[in-house]
């Protein structure tokens, strides 16, 4: 269902001789995509059921997801929105955006708008500016966010013209989708630095993928590398159960082990929050490893990063 699309830049990072290369596995389809298992379905997060109109998903009380296009610069084989991206059925057009903007104007509880898709940065500058300036004019919209993989797959898109537009709509945050430390090239460093210099806080979003980044050492290199390009690792996502994705999915225990390998062993800024997005629009749930073992009277019994058991005096929560 999902098209194949890779920018020439990103293709230049792919090893034509090694089908097991991490970043190659995320972009080149394999027959495993035709296998179905477990709870997999087209729309595992129930986004369609929480979509008041085309291009908008309103799951949480004060934020909306504004899907401004279904095109991406590259297509990721594990994409949560594989059911809709790249199909050409969801053309970016002002009429649809106008309806979404009207909805946001009418719902004064919306303070946070996340532009996604597809990838918002594949839109031409003037179209992106059209959307962003209209959103910025809505008084109750406090934050704007752009979810994108473009800085990783098409770093040359971060042009002076684009930055001039982005600088005018602060506060604006970027959630950048990174998968593997091989993506952190000099070109990507330049793109991220330019965004950060424009005053945009950068957060890294990574999907945990078997055989790609489910290795503590790889994840540490990725997260420290992100900090070096001024992007704070924000979320580590469990791979959503879209159809044909079992070959990418690890157990949650494997993800918890990775977080355990980071927490305390390297700077806290390099430790993302590990999330499972629950079925049917239940929302994201943090599933990182627990460090509280039990309560013992006025004490909490904790396990520290070295695995040692320690106690913390916390009488406030005691039953006695
Ligand atoms: S860039 Fe994002 S929306 Fe596009 S295919 Fe990859 S994960 Fe999906």
Which pLDDT score is estimated for 319? 54
Which pLDDT score is estimated for 257? 97
Distance from Cα 22 to the centre of ligand 1, integer Å = 17
Q: Whose CA is nearest to atom 5 of ligand 1?
A: 75
Q: Whose CA is nearest to atom 3 of ligand 1?
A: 118
Distance from Cα 76 to the centre of ligand 1, integer Å = 5
The answer on 314 and 267 residing in a single domain is no
| pLDDT above 90: residue 320 | no
Q: Whose CA is nearest to atom 6 of ligand 1?
A: 76
70-89 confidence digits (pLDDT tens): 999 999 999 998 888 888 76
The answer on 295 and 281 residing in a single domain is no
| pLDDT above 80: residue 318 | no
| pLDDT above 60: residue 66 | yes
Q: Whose CA is nearest to atom 1 of ligand 1?
A: 149
Per-chain mean pLDDT for the chain: 94
- Residue 315 domain boundaries: 290-320
Task: Establish whether the linkage from the previous residue to 118 is cis, with ω within 30° of 0.
Answer: yes
Which pLDDT score is estimated for 30? 94
Residue 1 lies in a domain: no
- Asked whether the beta carbons of 213 and 222 are under 8 A apart, the reply is yes
Task: Provide the token pair at 202.
Answer: 């950068």
The answer on 314 and 285 residing in a single domain is no
Residue 23: helix, strand or coil by DSSP? Answer: helix
Which pLDDT score is estimated for 223? 98
Residue 3 lies in a domain: no
118-149 confidence digits (pLDDT tens): 899 999 999 999 999 999 999 999 999 999 99
Percent of the chain topping pLDDT 90? 86
- CATH number of the domain encompassing residue 246: 3.20.20.70
The answer on 263 and 282 residing in a single domain is yes
Q: Whose CA is nearest to atom 7 of ligand 1?
A: 79
Which pLDDT score is estimated for 317? 58
Percent of the chain topping pLDDT 70? 98
CA dist 219 and 23 (Å) reads: 14
Distance from Cα 283 to the centre of ligand 1, integer Å = 19
Q: Which residue ranges have their beta carbon within 6 Å of ligand 1?
A: 72, 75-76, 79, 81, 85, 117-119, 149, 177
The answer on 82 and 29 residing in a single domain is yes
The answer on 127 and 95 residing in a single domain is yes
Short-list 86, 83, 90, 79, CA closest to 54 = 90
Q: Scan for tokens 């494997």, then name that residue.
A: 254
Distance from Cα 29 to the centre of ligand 1, integer Å = 14
Question: Taking every pair of C-alpha atoms in the chain, what is the biggest distance, in angstroms?
Answer: 66
Which pLDDT score is estimated for 137? 98
Distance from Cα 104 to the centre of ligand 1, integer Å = 24
191-230 confidence digits (pLDDT tens): 999 999 999 999 999 999 999 999 999 999 999 999 999 9
Residue 2 lies in a domain: no
Distance from Cα 293 to the centre of ligand 1, integer Å = 38
């Amino acid at each position: 269902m999902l098209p194949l699309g890779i920018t020439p830049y990103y293709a230049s990072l792919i090893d034509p001789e090694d089908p097991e290369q991490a970043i190659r596995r995320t972009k080149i389809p394999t027959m495993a995509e035709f296998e179905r298992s477990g709870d997999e379905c087209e729309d595992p997060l129930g986004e369609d059921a929480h979509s008041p109109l085309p291009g908008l998903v309103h799951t949480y009380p004060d934020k909306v997801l504004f899907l401004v296009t279904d095109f991406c610069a590259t297509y990721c084989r594990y994409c949560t929105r594989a059911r809709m991206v790249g199909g050409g059925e969801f053309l970016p057009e002002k009429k649809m955006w106008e309806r979404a903007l009207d909805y946001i104007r009418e719902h004064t509880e919306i303070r946070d708008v996340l532009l996604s898709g597809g990838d918002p940065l594949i839109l031409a500058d003037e179209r992106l500016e059209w959307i962003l300036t209209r959103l910025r004019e809505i008084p109750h919209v406090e934050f704007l966010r752009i979810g994108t993989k473009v800085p990783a797959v098409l770093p040359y898109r971060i042009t002076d013209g684009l930055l001039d537009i982005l600088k005018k709509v602060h506060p604006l945050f970027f959630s950048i989708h990174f998968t593997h430390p091989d993506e952190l090239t000099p070109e990507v460093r330049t793109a991220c630095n330019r965004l950060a210099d424009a005053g945009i806080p950068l957060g890294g979003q990574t999907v945990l993928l078997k055989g790609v980044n489910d290795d503590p050492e790889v994840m540490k290199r990725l997260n420290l590398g992100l900090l070096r390009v001024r992007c704070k690792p924000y979320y580590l996502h469990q791979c959503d159960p879209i159809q044909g994705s079992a070959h990418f999915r690890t157990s949650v225990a494997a993800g918890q082990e990775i977080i355990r390998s980071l927490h305390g062993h390297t700077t806290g800024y390099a430790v993302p929050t590990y999330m499972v997005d629950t079925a049917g629009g239940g929302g994201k749930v943090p599933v990182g490893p627990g460090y509280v073992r039990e309560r013992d009277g006025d004490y909490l019994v904790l396990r520290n990063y070295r695995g040692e058991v320690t106690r913390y005096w916390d009488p406030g929560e005691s039953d006695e």
